[in-house]
Amino acid sequence: MDKCCKDLEECESYLLELNLLLRSMEVLHRTYSAPAITALQASSYDIPKKEKRPRRWRSKNSGKETKATLQVYDVPSCISSKSPRLHASNPNLSTTESNTNTSLLKSSRNLQGNLFILNRKICFIFLVTGFISFRQDCSGSPQSLVHQVSNESRASIPESISEFFDAQEYLLSSSSSENEVSDDDSYISDVSDSVSMDTCSNEGGISSVITLSRRRSTLPSPSPTSSVSLWNILRNNIGKDLSKVAMPVQLNEPLNTLQRLCEELEYSKLLDTANKTQDPYQRMAYIATFAISAYASTFHRAASKPFNPVLGETYECDRPDKGFRFIAEQVSHHPPVSACHSDSKNFTFWQDVRWKNKFWGKSMEIVPMGTTHVTLPAFGDHYEWNKVTSCIHNILSGQRWIEHYGEMTIKNINSNVCQCKVTFVKAKSWNSTVNEIEGVVTDSNGKVVHSIFGKWHESLFQGDPPSATCIWRANTMPVDQEQYYGFTQFAVELNELDSTLRPHLPPTDTRFRPDQRLLEEGNPEAAEEQKQRIEQLQRERRKVLQDNNMAHQPRFFKKSKDDTWVSNDTYWELRKDLGFSKFDFPVLW
């Protein structure tokens, strides 16, 4: 045990080194690949000096290794507030800039090499202590894989080690072409590397083939300052359904309600884990945690509302890096109904959402209706649950904040082995108890098997304190999220549209919507003009349907026997070989 503790202490110090190393690589990447780094931005990536690095336990043979890794914390001299701006949209770099790029590339390769060495040290320690095994991938080459750590094991691991297991692994190659600048990306405001993982399995286990894709890390423009008086808009609508009240675009965020539904899948890995969990009670705990995590992205979003989809509007999100694909469609206008469907090798997720908004003077209440469904193919489970009431406080003055309250009941309709009840606690005022949830997983006799507690915007724990283990923690928010509508990194990526994706989308996809795009680009005046034009087109289409005694027929969803909307399983088939070009879609904007 003493030897194991020492090994883990050494590994913890390596993890601290790894964190600093990754920050150094981020500085290099951001300087080399596109965005300009101002002196203010560069200060946020200050690298700790060598003498301030924490002391760590060393083995007899670690002296040379430590010396070899110290160099990675030295930021290249080319990264400073005086260095020339490098941008992907400027292919004609000067000689100085070219030399700078060469220096950056060499530094990047040095960092990647040191990253590989440090990663091997960490893997070796985990191998010795039993946390890593070596498997073979589909081609027969060895791959190091981190085991799924049980809740009991996590409880005995230092917090920094536990967080290591939650982090994604990156495979970086010094010969990668990722650092090459392309003129085609000049319209992207900022990009970051995200990992796309395609898996193949064999008798030895599962190994991952990792590919890198570029996704933006911020919006093109910060949110504009709004001068709209909410009181002038809402004073005549107290107690009414606000879904029928036209709101100015300045109150919106540059995302659509259909995209908001996709945000509920940000933590879809919980469903992946559930589909690999044998214990039905623990599976239910993961399902409940996923249902709660759907509210996490709303915490910083009380200041604005999403765009209302027009009838027939669609949205797709294909994320091989997360292992799922998603489609959504606005299937009804009055009452507003949004339907969505997502599939993965580990789960199927679908729902149709109907809601009513009511303004009560100081607050606005959002009452959802409908049921959310998830099936797990490994066990034949079919879970369903309801959503809770949401309320935005201080709607007219003061600091706006959002609250969710009510009881959520989760059932497996294919088995009565267990069920779960989650209570979103209603706060009496803004205090330390706000955003709390309490949940229990019970057996068929009502006996509590697992308990869940925590805050829906921060983290959730399973068990009883002080021995409870963290089952979920919200992703870190971008540092400048206040300036960009309070978006998470996942939300930032939802409305991104590049030239490779454009020809594969139907013309009804939200990313083609001009008013939302203009708001994202920081032009609310033009966005308001487009919004009014789009709403007028919708009224005209509705009048044509009424005059001809016709009803709108959704393209990708159909009504089921219980009057809910489900996918008709045609979207992805039509998407193949540019199949959408063969259909006559209505002109929505």
Q: What are the DSSP calls for 195-249, one per residue? A: EEEEEEEETTEEEEEEEEEEE-SS-SSPPPPP---HHHHHTT-BTSBGGGS---G
Please report which confidence band the pLDDT of residue 360 belongs to, taking 50, 70 and 90 as the band edges: confident
3-state secondary structure of 312: coil
Q: Is the pLDDT of residue 341 over 60?
A: yes
pLDDT at 16: 72
Distance between CA atoms of residues 584 and 261, nearest Å:
26
Please report which confidence band the pLDDT of residue 357 belongs to, taking 50, 70 and 90 as the band edges: confident
Please report which confidence band the pLDDT of residue 484 belongs to, taking 50, 70 and 90 as the band edges: very high
DSSP 502-554: GGGS-TTBGGG-HHHHHHHTT-HHHHHHHHHHHHHHHHHHHHHHHHTT-----
Distance between CA atoms of residues 426 and 571, nearest Å:
40
pLDDT at 335: 87
Please report which confidence band the pLDDT of residue 303 belongs to, taking 50, 70 and 90 as the band edges: confident
Q: Is the pLDDT of residue 167 over 90?
A: no
Distance between CA atoms of residues 143 and 146, nearest Å:
10
397-434 pLDDT tens trace: 778 899 999 999 999 999 999 999 999 999 876 666 78
Q: Is the pLDDT of residue 128 over 90?
A: no
pLDDT at 466: 87
pLDDT at 76: 40
CA distances from 99 to 34, 84, 106 (A): 16, 11, 11
pLDDT at 113: 65
Distance between CA atoms of residues 524 and 516, nearest Å:
9
524-539 pLDDT tens trace: 999 999 999 999 999 9
Q: Is the pLDDT of residue 509 over 70?
A: yes
Query: Helix %, strand %, coil % for the chain, to 5?
Result: 35, 25, 40
Bridge partner list, 437: 424, 454
pLDDT at 504: 93
Model confidence, pTM:
0.66
174-216 pLDDT tens trace: 333 333 333 343 333 344 444 444 443 333 333 333 444 578 9
pLDDT at 3: 78
| Cβ contact 327:521 at 8 Å | no
3-state secondary structure of 395: coil
pLDDT at 78: 39
> In this prediction, what percent of the chain has a pLDDT beyond 70?
63
328-339 pLDDT tens trace: 999 998 889 999
> CB pairs under 8 A, 24+ apart, for 494-499?
494/255, 494/259, 494/262, 494/263, 494/317, 495/254, 495/255, 495/259, 495/520, 496/188, 496/215, 496/216, 498/185, 498/188, 499/184
pLDDT at 209: 39
